[in-house]
């Protein structure tokens, strides 16, 4: 057998370990257990002879030393009796075995829980178990939105039968710096995906992506968009003006596609991805990433991502699971059809589906995000920034977005404020749903710090334990260093002696 | 195990001292108590312990030791007197009177001396035989004495302020005889060695190794130091101290005073008794704990091995040492433990 790489054994392994009835210690091997019993419990303290059983020791004591054995040495208080004949694992009463197993199991589970909390790893079954629960945490608006999105995705998938799969490596630089370039790349799925991300980083670059969205809103024919990506980039600029009206419809399509397609497919796949979007607008990509891909975030590539996860140290899992499960639920249709095609498809979806879904429901759903919508009226830049943000909230409501934005998104402070208020609302809602969620107020850096602190605390604890052994606070039972206990007693009235005679003599 | 039992008639108040007779054929021991009595017990073969005699004093008795035979004891009493008592006849003789309560008294068979130490910071050296030609000599100490111990050739006086004086008995005996006519019997004698305790806190007890190599001291701060008489650097480098008689409570180590130290007359191991009610057996050479006995109901007040090393008698009493000052049922007791052959023996290496 190869050596186990995990430091912690299975339940079965632990349960199968032989253990000593008298002292509840467990051993690697039955032989060692028997040796232990002979040395610790069945050893004659008169002559040191090691007997095999308590009965044997008793007989030995009787015959050799003419003494009676009353109790087993070194045994737990309630196990010192001679009534049970123990040899190794044999002879242990059934109920004691069960008690022991129970204890072992509880210990194991406790240790496991601690380990999980410490490492941030999900339990194997946890995801499945929590998946179903997840939706409960979502607000009805979110649910509806997702449903709409799902439908849209289905339609989009049907329409765009085959999509080319885009490589993960985002050309953030390209996207950010040059809208013009996008057309060239348009064929690849990137632009679409990046859009959500990119929008934040560089508003200018977004112009292109936006154009996609806009067209649908305005009622442009979907087919045209989907087919030639290149055309999009160019088209958008002219179409921008119409914005003010369609804002609502706008956001909806955006928000939906962004959440689902992005979060799962891309993020998990490439941790490398995260960096590029960051420079422009770290807060968004990070959040999306981390919440979805905890491990990546942990890996420590980006400080910000960690912060998010850390922000909810209490239950890192639940968050992840939540974000995950929705994404997954929504995803299957899309991913199946091809998540990548969505790039061209993104714009399309809104067009096709938006009208049906746009109904009153959508507005209701977005009311929480309304502030951002108002912001849209301004030029595209704001819209773009605002849009991704809004979408973000639903995606990763737990995360303290507002701060991230304000911190890292330059020049969008007023917007950020509005967004933050909206996101806060979302956050609070989610927070109510998930008690474990961190307070949105915590700035990005803070969560990071908290996480580190948590880690440090742990290590500190260990250190403390070590140190305490070395320098434990002590309390002297008798602390008078000048007067001995006897002197104190002698000064008590009941012991007082008045040497009447002696004084005369002296 | 059934090797330990408590005696039937313990003193009625706190126990201050317990000493076995130095006669290896005897299993007689004397107990001094704060109830103003000295008790003489004898362990019989059938696990009985008989109270042979009970001698009243005017004040609580702080120490007791056997004299030249099983019938003679010396007592140190809070009434400032040092007495010689014949057990059989109950005849008491006051050897000397200190200016304060007498804390300790020891008897040196080899040099025929009875040495007492009192809280007036003096040591009185008495001739053991009543017909000696020299009177009691008084030695001034730099501090209050807390404990006395004798080896075959040395007297160790442990005092307050961590001071520790070691006298050579032979010199003491000679000086005492020579200074018979000295003024007021004051004896200005330099100790053979003056030492500072290796322990940072008040010395609680001291006992000498049976082989005359060194001694062990204990402090109120759960610590025991083992040191050697030999002033050479090599021997002094061997001295060490260790922590014991502590109990972790929550995050705090509760530290008990080590009230008593007793070397085993045969094996050279020693027992320590603490305010926590625990007796532990140690190997001074190997620096190992050999054994630790179950916690008893109250502070260990005194311990003594019988001269043949087969019995360990342990006296427990509440007192300032364990933070308890009220007498609870069973808090005053004397336990007799019959030691197995290897029970307190150094472990073979």
Cβ contact, residue pair B2, A67, below 8 Å:
yes
What does the pLDDT read at residue A128?
43
- Up-side HSE of residue B241: CA atoms within 13 Å toward CB? 16
B207 forms bridges with which residues in the sheet?
Answer: B216
Give me the pLDDT at residue B20, please: 92
Which of these, A161, A177, A201, lies nearest to A282 by C-alpha position? A201
Q: What contacts B50, CB < 8 A, 6 or more positions away?
A: B41, B42, B44
Most confidently modeled range among A157-161, A400-404, B25-29, B221-225: B221-225
**Between the ranges A109-118, B105-114, B170-179, where is the mean pLDDT highest?**
B105-114
**CB-CB neighbours of A100 under 10 Å:** 16
B323 interaction partners in chain A (CB closer than 8 Å)? 477-478
For position B146, what pLDDT does the model report? 93
Helix (H) or strand (E) holding B31: strand B28-33
CA–CA gap between residue A203 and residue A197 (Å, rounded): 11
φ/ψ of residue A357, rounded to 5: -80, -20
Residues 86-145 of B with CB under 8 A from A: 97, 99, 101, 103, 119, 144
Query: pLDDT at position A271, please?
Result: 39
Token couple for B290:
């050999």
Say yes or no: B79 contacts chain A, CB-CB below 8 A.
yes
pLDDT at B252: 84
Q: Which residue has the higher pLDDT, B319 or A185?
A: B319
Residue A238: burial class (beta carbons within 10 Å; 0-12, 13-18, 19+): exposed
Tell whether the model's pLDDT for residue B31 goes beyond 90: yes
Question: Which residue of chain A has the CA closest to B34?
Answer: A495
The Cα of A47 is separated from the nearest Cα of chain B by a number of Å equal to 7
pLDDT at B22: 86
Higher-confidence residue: A366 or A451?
A366
Tokens of A377: 């009226």
Residue with tokens 């360990």: B312
User: Chain-centre distance of CA A202, in angstroms?
Assistant: 30
The bridge status of strand B61-66 relative to strand B72-77 is antiparallel
**Residues of chain B positioned with their CB less than 8 A from the CB of A506:** 99
Residue B209 has pLDDT above 60, yes or no: yes
The kind and range of the H/E element at B25 are none
Structure token pair of residue B345: 């023996």
Interchain CB distance below 8 Å, A477 and B255 = yes
Residue with the bigger pLDDT between A228 and A94: it is A94
Q: How confident is the model at residue B327 (pLDDT cuts 50, 70, 90)?
A: low
- pLDDT score recorded for residue A504: 41
Average pLDDT over all residues of chain A: 57
Tell me the C-alpha distance between A372 and A356, whole Å. 23
In this prediction, residues B9-34 reach a mean pLDDT of 89
The reply to whether residue A497 touches residue B58, judged by beta carbons under 8 angstroms, is yes
B341/A contact by beta carbon, under 8 A: yes
Q: Domain locations in chain B?
A: 4-338
Mean pLDDT confidence for A92-117: 86
pLDDT of residue B134: 79
User: Taking CA atoms, what residue in B is nearest to A465?
Assistant: B251
Span A61-66, average pLDDT: 85
The CA–CA distances, whole Å, from B61 to A270, A486, A495, A501 equal 86, 11, 10, 18
Of residues B23 and B165, the one with the higher pLDDT is: B165
Chain B residue numbers with beta carbons less than 8 Å from the beta carbon of A505 are 97
Query: What sign results for the dihedral spanned by CA atoms A226, A229, A235, A239?
Result: positive
Task: Tell me how crowded residue B213 is: count the other CB atoms within 10 A of its CB.
Answer: 18
Distance CA A104, CA A126 (A): 22
pLDDT for residue B148: 92
How far from the centroid of its chain's Cα atoms is residue A481's Cα? 55
Q: What is the pLDDT of residue B321?
A: 61
Q: Which of B92, B67, B77 is nearest to B37 (CA)?
A: B77
Chain B nearest-CA distance from A492, in A, is 11
Residue pair A280/A198 in contact (Cβ under 8 Å)? The answer is yes
Hey, how many other C-beta atoms are within 10 angstroms of the C-beta on B56? 11
pLDDT bin (cut points 50, 70, 90) of residue A184 is very low
Residues forming beta bridges with residue B32, ordered by sequence position: B17, B38
pLDDT at A26: 87
Q: Which of residues 207-266 of B touch A (CB under 8 A)?
A: 220-221, 246, 248-249, 251-257
pLDDT tens profile A248-263:
444 444 444 444 444 4
Output the pLDDT for position B181: 58
Q: Which residues of chain A have a CB within 8 Å of the CB of B248?
A: 472
Give SS3 for B343: coil
Judged against a pLDDT cut of 70, whether residue A69 lies above it is answered with yes
Q: What is the CATH T-level fold of the domain B4-338, as seen in this structure?
A: Methylamine Dehydrogenase; Chain H (2.130.10)
Check if the interface score ipTM surpasses 0.90.
no
pLDDT tens-digit map of A456-486: 444 444 444 444 445 667 788 887 888 888 8
Domain positions in chain A: 11-118, 140-158+174-437
Q: Which is more confident, A125 or B126?
A: B126
Looking at the DSSP assignment, which residues form a beta bridge with residue A288? Answer: none
- d(CA B93, CA B74) in angstroms, rounded, equals 9
């Amino acid at each position: 057998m190869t050596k186990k790489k995990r430091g912690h054994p299975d339940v079965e392994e632990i349960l199968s370990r032989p253990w000593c009835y008298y002292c509840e210690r467990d051993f690697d091997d039955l032989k060692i257990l028997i040796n232990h019993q002979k040395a610790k419990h069945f050893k004659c303290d008169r002559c040191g002879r090691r007997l095999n059983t308590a009965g044997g020791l008793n007989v030995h004591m009787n015959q050799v030393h003419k003494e009676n054995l009353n109790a087993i040495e070194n045994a737990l208080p309630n196990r010192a009796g001679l009534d049970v004949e123990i040899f190794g694992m044999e002879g242990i009463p059934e109920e004691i075995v069960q008690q022991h197993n129970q204890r072992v199991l509880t210990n194991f589970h406790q240790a496991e829980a601690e380990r999980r909390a410490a490492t941030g790893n999900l339990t194997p079954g946890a995801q499945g178990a929590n998946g179903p629960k997840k939706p409960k945490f979502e607000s009805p608006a979110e649910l509806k939105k997702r449903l709409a999105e799902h439908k849209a995705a289905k339609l989009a998938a049907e329409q765009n039968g085959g999509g080319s799969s885009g490589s993960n490596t985002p050309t953030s630089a390209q996207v950010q710096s040059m809208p013009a370039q996008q057309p060239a790349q348009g064929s690849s799925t990137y632009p679409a995906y990046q859009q959500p991300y990119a929008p934040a980083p560089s508003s200018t670059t977004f112009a292109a992506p936006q154009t996609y969205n806009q067209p649908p809103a305005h009622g442009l024919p979907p087919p045209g968009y989907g087919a030639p990506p290149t055309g999009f980039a160019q088209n958008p600029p002219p179409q921008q003006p119409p914005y003010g009206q369609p804002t609502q419809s706008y956001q909806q399509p955006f928000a939906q596609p962004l959440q689902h397609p992005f979060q799962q497919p891309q993020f998990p796949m490439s941790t490398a991805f995260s960096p590029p979007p960051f420079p422009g607008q770290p807060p968004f990509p990070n959040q999306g990433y981390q919440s979805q891909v905890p491990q990546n975030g942990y890996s420590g590539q980006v400080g910000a991502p960690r912060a998010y996860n850390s922000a909810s140290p209490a239950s890192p899992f639940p968050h992840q699971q939540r974000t995950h499960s929705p994404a997954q639920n929504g995803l299957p249709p899309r991913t199946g059809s091809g998540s990548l095609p969505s790039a061209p498809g993104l714009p399309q979806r809104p067009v096709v589906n938006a009208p049906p879904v746009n109904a009153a429901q959508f507005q209701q759903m977005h009311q929480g995000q309304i502030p951002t919508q108002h912001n849209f009226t301004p030029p595209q830049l704001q819209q773009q920034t605002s849009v991704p943000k809004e979408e973000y909230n639903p995606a990763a409501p737990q995360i303290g977005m507002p701060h991230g934005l304000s911190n890292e998104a330059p020049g969008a402070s007023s917007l950020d404020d509005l967004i933050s208020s909206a996101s806060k609302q979302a956050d609070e809602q989610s927070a109510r749903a998930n008690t474990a969620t961190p307070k949105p107020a915590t700035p990005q850096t803070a969560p990071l710090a908290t996480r580190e602190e948590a880690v440090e605390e742990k290590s500190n604890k260990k250190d403390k334990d070590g140190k305490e052994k070395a320098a434990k606070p002590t309390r002297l039972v008798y602390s008078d260093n000048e007067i001995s206990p006897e002197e104190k007693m002698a000064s008590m009235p009941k012991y007082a002696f008045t040497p009447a005679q002696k004084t005369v003599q002296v | 195990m059934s090797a330990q039992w408590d005696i039937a008639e313990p003193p009625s108040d706190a126990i201050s001292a317990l000493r076995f007779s130095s006669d290896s054929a005897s299993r007689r021991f004397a107990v001094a108590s704060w109830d103003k009595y000295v008790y003489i017990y004898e362990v019989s073969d059938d696990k009985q312990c008989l109270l042979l005699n009970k001698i009243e004093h005017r004040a609580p008795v702080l120490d007791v030791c056997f004299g030249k035979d099983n019938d003679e004891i010396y007592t140190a009493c809070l009434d400032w007197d040092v007495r010689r008592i014949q057990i059989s006849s109950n005849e008491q003789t006051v050897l000397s009177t200190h200016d304060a309560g007498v804390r300790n008294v020891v008897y040196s068979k080899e040099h025929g001396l009875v040495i007492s130490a009192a809280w007036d910071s003096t040591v009185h050296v008495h001739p053991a035989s009543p017909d000696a030609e020299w009177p009691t000599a008084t030695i001034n100490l730099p501090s209050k004495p807390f404990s006395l111990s004798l080896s075959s050739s040395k007297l160790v006086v442990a005092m307050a302020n961590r001071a520790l004086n070691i006298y050579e008995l032979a010199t003491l005996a000679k000086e005492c005889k020579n200074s018979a006519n000295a003024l007021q019997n004051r004896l200005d004698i330099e100790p053979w060695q003056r030492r500072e305790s290796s322990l940072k806190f008040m010395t609680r007890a001291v006992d000498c190794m049976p082989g005359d190599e060194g001694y062990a001291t204990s402090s109120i701060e759960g610590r025991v130091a083992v040191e050697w008489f030999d002033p050479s650097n090599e021997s002094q480098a061997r001295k060490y101290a260790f922590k014991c008689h502590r109990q972790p409570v929550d995050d705090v180590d509760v530290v008990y005073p080590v009230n008593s130290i007793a070397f085993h007359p045969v094996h050279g191991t020693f027992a320590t008794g603490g305010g926590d009610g625990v007796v532990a057996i140690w190997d001074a050479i190997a620096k190992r704990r050999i054994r630790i006995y179950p916690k008893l109901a109250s502070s260990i007040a005194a311990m003594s091995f019988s001269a043949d090393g087969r019995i360990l008698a342990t006296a427990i009493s509440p007192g300032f040492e364990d933070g308890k000052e009220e007498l609870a049922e069973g808090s005053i007791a004397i336990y007799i433990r019959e030691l197995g052959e290897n029970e307190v023996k150094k472990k073979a290496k």
